[in-house]
Structure 1
Amino acid sequence: MLSSILIFLAFGVLTGLTTVLFGFGGGFVIVPVVYALALASGSGQDAMLVAVATSTAVMIVNSLSASLAHWRSGRLRTDLLFPLAAYIGVGALGGALLATRVPDAVLHLLFIAYLAITIVDSLLRRGFISRSPGTVERRLGPVATSAGGLGIGAVASFLGVGGSIMTVPLLRRLGLPMATSAAMANPLSVPVSVVGAAVYALALPMGTGSLATGRLGYIDLLAMAGLLAGSLPTIAVAKRLVGRMPDRIHAIAFIALLVVVLASMLLIRPA
């Protein structure tokens, strides 16, 4: 028990750092950690879903905290938030409901597949790693906003990764600096986390995944508490780092972290 708490605290610190720098809300750090510990504890049947659900719940607090810090620093662009955030929230409902009906091994495989696709796409498609001087910002059209928002919400809640995995590359290719793209990913992760966590918390009948077992639905409350204890103080400190990292290095670091997470998920074998 103590060792698990210490692990959650340590990775909570990393979660807070990635939330501020990359807009992850913690998803890509939390899912592998909770998944591995759930498997080790014998919860193999629904270990991946517990990891996704717990990650989604943690993101509510982390994304709101980081969004407030970015708003105070003036990095949030409200003109780009709406109506994209509303469509993301609607898509998140469908994605979370679908995740509760997918076998755990399939969810694990899809998580790996999406990570790999995102890494390759970010490396090969122009506009992510390098932002040319004098780049003119573009806007999403109505169709791209609605379809893109629904897709982002569905995938993000289905995998428990917030919206950053899709919104950061999207905003980057619209011509935004990496620091702004990462900052915008936090408020865009809020509708994903709120809707997704509600679905995962209510997905099990009362008594099946009760508070007596340390869960609220599929959400692991002990893991959530430990991760937040480490992430929230880190977010308060790490917000000072935003904007100090060179744009190209910031983009490369985003991809590098995804590669590390992909490698860790490939090493973890489903039950």
Structure 2
Amino acid sequence: MDVLALTGIGLLTGVTTVVFGFGGGFVAVPVVVWADAALGADAVRVATATSALVMVVNAGFATAVTPRRVLAALRGSGTLLLLLAVGASVGALVTRVAPPALARWAFVGYVALTAADLLLRPGFLRPPTRPGAVTDGSRPLPVVLGAPVGAIAAFLGVGGSVMTVPAMRRAGHTMHVATALANPLTLAIALPATAVSLSAATVPSAVHTQMHLVGLVDARAAAALLAGALPVIAVLRRRPLRIPDRPYAWAYIGLLVTVAVAMLP
């Protein structure tokens, strides 16, 4: 896959960062797997690491341009953010030694199960109405779940929004608020995961394919994806899309299903 195609797909990662709070991870993982198919089984490991770097930049930028009144809902979540980061460090370390096939099937299985949960269990498509949901300081996740959520998200390269957005929906937040708050939580997971990935030894298959990696990160693919994503994030934060809440929730589920299918061998 050439740089122009990756940049074009980067536009989509910018949309998913702002609209769905994914930070680009759900799109970046299957795209980098395809782009680096020459690495064979190691492509999944490289895709997960590259996804983390893309999420750091995308989620960090999206957080910086999010209105402070929205981010106020995370006030008092310092312990949760710390545990997310600790768990992410562990998950990124496990990725370095786990069989690549395990990471691929875990990604597909987790996303598929999440989509099924959102469809079958009440509270996501039609959340309870709760006045003051934007600024009342409610937690996006119970603090005790911080470490395991961070570990799973970093291992899969997804940033954690697939867990935090449904939780915030069921707490009464609109999709617009839930997806905006997912970006700072994604940043807490992606930063340590990226640090671990950049410090790792490159995969042996990269030598045979003459692919130059920085640790486990495909810097060329990451740069192309970000070149497409960042302008889109800037535009959509200034002029947000006006999507009715219920179709917004359905679109979230639809994207999950699409990504899970795209990752099938």
TM-score, length-normalised on structure 2?
Answer: 0.90
How far apart are 1:64 and its partner, in Å? 0.6
Equivalent residue runs for 1:164-179 within 5 Å: 164-179=161-176
Residue 143 of structure 2 corresponds to 146
Distance 1:185 1:204, change over 3 A: same
Q: 1:32-43 to 2 correspondence within 5 Å?
A: 32-39=30-37, 42-43=38-39
1:222 equivalent in structure 2: 220
> Offset at 1:32?
0.4
Equivalent residues of 2:42, 2:203 under 8 A apart: no
- CA deviation profile, 1:213-263 (whole Å, cap 9, x unmatched): 421111000001100100000101112454621111111111111111111
Q: Which one of 70, 79, 82 corresponds to residue 75 of structure 1?
A: 70
Q: 2:99 aligns with which of 76, 98, 103?
A: 103
The partner residue of 2:46 within 44, 50, 54 is 50
User: Is 2:84–2:150's contact at 8 Å kept on the other side of the alignment?
Assistant: yes
CA distance in 1, matches of 2:149, 2:240: 24
Q: Which residue of 1 aligns with 2:191?
A: 194
Cα-to-partner distance string for 1:46-88 (whole Å, 9 max, x where unaligned): 100000000001111100110011135x321232643221110
Give the partner amino acid of 2:193: G
1:129 is aligned, of 125, 132, 147, to: 125
Q: Secondary structure at the match of 1:55?
A: helix
> Which residue of structure 1 lines up, in the alignment, with residue 14 of structure 2?
16
Return the alpha-carbon distance in structure 2 between the equivalents of residues 250 and 190 of structure 1.
23
**For structure 1, which runs of at least 5 residues remain unmatched after alignment?**
none
Partner of 1:237: 235
- 1:100 is matched by which residue type in structure 2? R
Q: CA deviation at 1:195?
A: 0.3
Q: Secondary structure at the match of 1:215?
A: coil
Q: Secondary structure at the match of 1:217?
A: coil
Q: Percent identity?
A: 42
The structural deviation recorded for 1:31 is 0.4
Q: TM (normalized to structure 1)?
A: 0.88
Q: 1:251 — aligned with what?
A: 249
| Partners of 2:25 and 2:18 in 1: CA distance | 13
In structure 2, how many angstroms separate the alpha carbons of the residues matched to 1:149 and 1:29? 23
Moved segments of 4+, more than 3 Å: 132-141, 205-210, 240-243
Q: Over the residues paired in the alignment, what is the CA RMSD in angstroms?
A: 2.3
| Unpaired runs of at least 5, structure 2 | none
Q: Does the 8 A contact of 2:49 with 2:197 survive in 1?
A: yes
Q: Residues 17-57 of structure 1, C-alpha deviation per residue, up to 9 Å, x if partnerless? A: 00001110000100001001211xx2013100000000001
Q: Count residues with an aligned counterpart.
A: 259
Label 1:207 to 1:51 Cα distance change in 2 as closer, same or farther (>3 A): closer
Contact 2:202-2:214 at 8 Å conserved across structures: no
